[in-house]
């Protein structure tokens, strides 16, 4: 059950609550990015944090609901609920701090089918385990501290082994087309991943000269 979440760098509490409730959150940078990242069976819902720019967030919420016909849940600080008085373009709102049970109930009331439990949410590669339900990573049964984007990059590699990906392809698949950081971002994150995986596993991510990277 894929849920589009905005902004692209959502709060850890929102991401954790969605994952804990069984949904797969996909950060988006805007409406166009939602189209590029849309899963084959469509979005289940969109969850929008108002954040520092509530007017922009509301505008994006309106466009997402209109263009993708998805229910939209707004997440707002309880001190800012007055800002919603003259706003529309969303179906319901959730106050912070986020309660996972309430999040599940509100999405359910919007018609979002509760996700079915998967038999095994763990991706494996040798002694690496990535739990896609909890966003935890383990090497030889020991936890590995990864940032959100390091985890997403490593997950992408594990899910797509043995083929060569250009830096531009990796950027579009992992960061999204609207990311303007440049291909050096991929190199930086690959270097960090290699360091965290350890010297004995550096061969997992192979540099293909003048092209990009291959995992496996």
Lowest-confidence pick of 2-11, 171-180, 192-201: 171-180
Is the pLDDT higher at 82 or at 68?
A: 68
pLDDT for res 39: 83
Q: Residue 171 gets which letter from DSSP?
A: I
Global pTM?
A: 0.55
With a cut of 90, say whether residue 216 has pLDDT above it. Answer: no
With a cut of 60, say whether residue 119 has pLDDT above it. Answer: no
With a cut of 70, say whether residue 117 has pLDDT above it. Answer: no
Which residues does 211 contact at the CB level (< 8 Å), separation at least 6?
A: 164, 166
With a cut of 70, say whether residue 118 has pLDDT above it. Answer: no
8 A C-beta contact, residue 97 and residue 13: yes
**At residue 39, what are phi and psi to the nearest 5 degrees?**
-65, 165
Of 108, 93, 94, 95, which Cα lies nearest the Cα of 1?
108
With a cut of 90, say whether residue 120 has pLDDT above it. Answer: no
- The separation between CA 24 and the C-alpha centre of its own chain, rounded to angstroms, equals 7
pLDDT band at 77 (very low <50, low <70, confident <90, very high): confident
For residue 98, the SS3 value is coil
Domain ranges of the chain: 2-109, 122-215
CATH of domain 2-109: 3.40.50.2300
Segment 130-181, tens digit of pLDDT? 988 788 899 988 999 999 899 999 999 998 888 899 998 898 888 875 666 6
Q: Where are the alpha helices (DSSP H) in 38-124?
A: 54-68, 100-109
pLDDT for res 213: 95
Q: Residue 207 gets which letter from DSSP?
A: E
Segment 33-46, tens digit of pLDDT? 999 888 888 899 99
- Radius of gyration (C-alpha) of the chain in whole angstroms: 18
- The separation between CA 156 and the C-alpha centre of its own chain, rounded to angstroms, equals 12
Helices vs. strands in the chain: H and E counts, helices first: 7, 12
Q: Does domain 122-215 have CATH number 1.20.59.10?
A: no
Percentage above 90 pLDDT, the chain = 44
Is the pLDDT higher at 186 or at 118?
A: 186
């Amino acid at each position: 059950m894929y849920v589009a979440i905005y902004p692209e760098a959502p709060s850890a509490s929102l991401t954790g609550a969605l994952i804990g409730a069984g949904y797969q959150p996909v950060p988006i940078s805007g409406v166009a990015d939602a189209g590029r990242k849309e899963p084959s069976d469509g979005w289940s819902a969109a969850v929008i944090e108002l954040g520092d720019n509530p007017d922009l967030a509301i505008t994006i919420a309106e466009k997402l609901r209109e263009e993708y016909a998805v229910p939209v849940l707004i997440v707002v600080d309880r001190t800012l609920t007055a800002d919603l008085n003259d706003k529309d373009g969303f179906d319901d709102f959730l106050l912070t701090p986020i309660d996972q049970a309430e999040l599940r109930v509100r999405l359910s009331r919007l018609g979002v089918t509760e996700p079915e439990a998967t038999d095994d949410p763990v991706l494996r590669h040798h002694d690496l385990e990535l739990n896609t339900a909890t966003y935890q990573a383990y090497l030889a049964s020991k936890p590995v501290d990864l940032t959100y984007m390091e985890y997403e990059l490593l997950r992408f590699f594990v899910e797509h082994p043995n083929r060569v990906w250009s830096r531009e392809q990796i950027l579009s698949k992992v960061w999204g087309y609207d990311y303007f950081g440049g291909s050096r971002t991929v190199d930086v994150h690959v270097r960090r991943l290699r360091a965290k995986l350890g010297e004995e596993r550096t061969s997992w991510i192979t540099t293909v000269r003048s092209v990009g990277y291959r995992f496996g």
